[in-house]
Amino acid sequence: MVKRLVVGAGYGLRDWLGQRATGAYMALYTIIFAFSALTLPKMDHEHWSALFSGGLMRFLTFLFFMSLAYHAWVGVRDIWMDYVKPLGLRLALHLVTLFLLVGYAGWAAKILWRL
């Protein structure tokens, strides 16, 4: 029987796959974003914010931040699991990471939907 220490983390394939899928999406978005940003006619507020206010780009950017939150959750959690051995501290760090990332995702959504 495998004994698992319950520290609020997920295990196994889902996170492994999720991290790669979100990574692949963010790589694709990066190319789309870099191309759009580097071909802006003028780098001022009007052109820059218009880049994100279009329906498609807003959706893709929102998806980017959601992917980022999930991707970073798995990655940062792995760092805690590798280096932080005391369970209470590890659990606390997991929770802080999770709360921060959920907060960042909400912040990103607010920025995008105000445009």
Partner 1 sequence: MSEASVARKARPKFLDLREIRLPLPGIVSILHRISGAGLFLLLPFLLYLFDLSVSSPETFATYKAIVGHPLVKLILFGLLWAYLHHFCAGIRFLLLDLHKGIELEQARQSARLVLIVSLTLTVILGVWLW
Pick from 72, 81, 98, 109: which binds partner 1 (CB under 8 A)? 72
Compute CA 66 distance to the chain's CA centroid, rounded to the nearest angstrom. Answer: 5
Structure tokens given for 47? 């052109």
- Residue 48 as a binder of partner 1 (CB under 8 A): the answer is yes
CB 22 within 8 A of CB 71: yes
Structure tokens given for 111? 């920025």
Pick from 8, 49, 54, 89: which binds partner 1 (CB under 8 A)? 49
Provide the minimum distance between the beta carbon of 79 and partner 1 in the complex, in angstroms, as a whole number. Answer: 6
Helices and strands in the chain, H and E counts: 4, 0
- Residue 79 as a binder of partner 1 (CB under 8 A): the answer is yes
For the chain, the distance separating the N- and C-terminal CA atoms, rounded to the nearest angstrom, is 53
Distance CA 78, CA 61 (A): 25
The smaller minimum CB distance to partner 1, of residues 24 and 95, is found at: 24
- Residue 46 as a binder of partner 1 (CB under 8 A): the answer is yes
Rounded to 5 degrees, φ, ψ at 112 are -70, -35
The smaller minimum CB distance to partner 1, of residues 8 and 75, is found at: 75
Binding positions for partner 1, rule: CB under 8 A = 20, 23-24, 27, 30, 44-46, 48-49, 52, 68, 72, 75-76, 79, 100, 104, 107-108, 111, 114-115
